[in-house]
Amino acid sequence: MMQLAMFDAERPMRIEPFQTGLLKWIGNKQRFAHEIASYFPPDFGTYYEPFIGSGAVMATLAPLQAVGSDCFAPLIEIWKTLKSSPDTLKRWYTERWEQIGSGEKLDVYERIKKSYNSNPNGADLLFLCRACYGGVVRFRKADGYMSTPVGIHHPISPASFSRRVDEWHRRTRGATFHLMEYKEAIERAKPGDLVYCDPPYTHSQAILYGRSRLAWKTCSG
């Protein structure tokens, strides 16, 4: 294994910015993903992202072969659905967005949040992460309870979300998504593959994950 500090290296690639996010997620690197990816080596086999989160770096890079993974099942359900049935992803969002249009925003949001907390699932999480306050999805450490209140903004329209789904489906067409621990994902990498790690934040407020350390490494044998 060869480990490289990202910002000690020259930028071997130019990556075009891609600013259209799909999920709002704590630590989302959408604005900086093209800069991060520009430090990657120009030639590699399969791209691995063991802490997929918002998927910003993967979608910006749009690799030919990729594996995105996480140990958080509702999140991976969203990514797997994007891959296998993007129309289902659109329907999940539209159904919940229309509920807000036909009722009191706070009541509808709390009902969806209650549905998620009683049975964590990708369909509810997809909408909550776009409708919650500041786009900061927080989970109670003790039991995983999603605690973020409703945002003051109105979530983007189904038409706008649909266009994002189509673009993200195209950009991640070379990827597969898996529910697994990061160690297993890293162990799957072969010589010449690229592993990008942006782990959950642990060094400040636990409920907000805190601060991450960016790292990438190439496998060299």
Per residue in 153-183, pLDDT tens? 889 999 999 999 999 999 999 999 999 999 9
- Residue 133: pLDDT band by 50, 70, 90 thresholds? very high
Find which of 1-5, 131-135, 203-207 is predicted with most confidence, using mean pLDDT.
131-135
CATH code for 1-10+22-38+45-192+199-221? 1.10.1020.10
Q: Is the pLDDT of residue 212 over 60?
A: no
Write the secondary structure of the chain as one string of H (helix), E (strand) and C (coil).
CEEECHHHCCCCCCCCCCCCCCCCCCCCCCCCHHHHHCCCCCCCCCEEECCCCCCHHHHHHCCCCEEEEECCHHHHHHHHHHHHCHHHHHHHHHHHHHHHHCCCHHHHHHHHHHHHHHCCCHHHHHHHHHHEHHHCCCECCCCCCECCCECCCCCCCHHHHHHHHHHHHHHCCCEEEEECCHHHHHHHCCCCCEEEECCCCCCCCHHHCCCCCCEEEECCC
**pLDDT 10s digits, 44-102:** 999 999 999 999 999 999 999 999 999 999 999 999 999 999 999 999 999 999 998 77
